[in-house]
Amino acid sequence: MIEFKLPSLGADMDEGKLLEWKVKPGDRVKRGDLVAVVETPKAAVDVEIWQDGVVHELVTQPGTTIPVGTVMARLLGLGETAPAAAPPPAAAPAPVAAPAAAPSRHPVSPAARKHARELGVDVESLPGSGPHGAVTVEDVEKAAKGRKPAPEAAPAPAPATAPAPAAAPAADKTLAMRKAIAAAMSRSKREIPHYYLSQTIPMQRAMDWLTAYNAKRPVTERLLMGALQLKAVALALKDFPDFNGFWMDNAFQPAQGIHIGVAISLRQGGLIAPAIHDVAELALDELMKALADLVRRARAGSLRSSEMSDPTITVTNLGDQGVDEVFAIIYPPQVAIVGFGRVAPRPWAEDGMIGAVPAVVASLAADHRVSDGHRGARFLAAIAARLQEPETL
């Protein structure tokens, strides 16, 4: 019997509220399938399962708030049979049950999800009119009132199961997010002895390369400088693994992959830093697509659990807001965060001449328990060197 427990989706989460199950007893699931939607202080997250099996029993009821580590469901491993004492699965397993993962579904904002539950609308069947086809509160209201009945998308009847669990109202969500950020950042400043370094990096080569790259491509295939910066950090981390991992149990634990958490500000306030997996292995165009997709889903409230739990380092870019330099706070249990300011013309001396070149200040905040300034300086220099050879990114 496999126990499926509520995973931790970040240092600022110690409990979560089950909003809905995406599976039912008898369903076959495979590694990576989405099985549940859980509300955390920062977002409603699609939770993935990490084993193959058949759902045997759903332990947690939707609407319940449970601590991290609580057994939410039990599964039978492949080939395993149900123990005699346990009741058999309620219904014969549907041989062609719909896959648990529904990658094509529209993103749904947490507020819309909540509203849909209150009104008994099946949010998954609604066409979305929000950003990127996201289902909005308005869509839900329209569907509920039948004001604009789409031909085949009549409001579905309320689920026959139990009282609909309600996600928190928007104001509460903002408050919950602030509390989560407060908890994680206070812990970081209390526990992590940060040291800070910065380096001004000339960006003429990277800018020229990017301009030439983008000039040949339609707007749908263009890269942002942020993608080059992420790749440069990822490649530098290959030689500096002591900045990629976690401080846990009084020791540094290096991470297996390079999964960069990208700090994304949300329009309603607050921020979230979900991971792009294996950044060093992605080609720039793939990385750009992954970045655009991650930002879109973060803002639509449709992230996956592995993206929340896997970041091994964070990169934050505040250049668009015009800042010169970022003095960032490490997101525990990570041990480093890299910040980028804006790329802007700055005086630059070369061969005894001063000229104006586009440059960016890259900064590093790192955990002094794990690394020292000397290593940090070399890590920043490695990032700078990578950005001088944009064609190798």
Summarize as ranges the residues that interact with other proteins (CB under 8 A).
Answer: 130-131, 136, 211, 214-215, 218-220, 222, 224-226, 265, 267-268, 291-292, 295-296, 320-321
Span between the terminal Cα atoms of the chain, in Å: 45
Q: Which is nearer to other proteins, 156 or 318 (CB)?
A: 318
State the minimum distance, in angstroms, from the CB of residue 320 to other proteins. 4
The C-alpha atoms of residue 200 and residue 186 are separated, in whole angstroms, by: 29
User: Which distant-in-sequence residues (6+ apart) come within 8 Å of 171 by Cβ?
Assistant: none
Concatenate the DSSP letters of all residues of 207-270 into one string. Answer: HHHHHHHHHTS-GGG---HHHHHHHHHHHHHHH-GGGSEEEETTEEEE-SS--EEE-EE-TTS-
The burial class, CB within 10 Å (0-12 / 13-18 / 19+), for 8 is middle
> Which own/partner pairs from 208-215 qualify as long-range (CB within 8 Å, at least 24 positions apart)?
209/390, 209/391, 210/390
Q: Quote the least distance from Cβ 217 to other proteins, whole Å.
A: 9
Nearer to other proteins by Cβ, of 288 and 335: the residue is 288
Q: Shortest gap between Cβ of 267 and other proteins (angstroms)?
A: 6
User: Which residue lies nearer to other proteins by CB, 144 or 266?
Assistant: 266
Smallest separation, CB 233 to other proteins (Å) = 17
* Residue with Cβ nearer other proteins (19 or 225): 225
For the bound state, the minimum distance from the C-beta of residue 312 to other proteins, rounded and expressed in Å, comes to 22
CB of residue 210 vs other proteins: minimum separation in angstroms?
9
Helix (H, G, I), strand (E, B) or coil at 30: coil
> Which residues are paired to 194 by β-bridges?
367
Please state, in angstroms and rounded to a whole number, the distance separating the CA atoms of residues 308 and 16: 13
Q: CA 345, CA 355: separation in Å to the nearest integer?
A: 9
The DSSP secondary structure of 42-99, one letter per residue, reads: S-EEEEE--S-EEEEEE-SPTT-EEETT-EEEEEEPTT----TTSPPPSSPPPTTPPP
Comparing CB distances to other proteins, the nearer of 315 and 336 is: 315
- Closer to other proteins by Cβ: residue 7 or 339: 339
**Considering the complex, what minimum distance in angstroms separates the CB of residue 284 from other proteins?**
15
Q: Do residues 109 and 300 touch, judged by C-beta distance below 8 A?
A: yes
Residue 357 token pair: 């070149």
Shortest spacing between CB 52 and other proteins, in angstroms: 36
Please give the helix or strand (H or E) that residue 200 lies within, else none.
Answer: strand 194-202
Residue nearer to other proteins on the CB measure, 253 or 268: 268
Closer Cβ to other proteins, 263 or 393, answer by number = 263
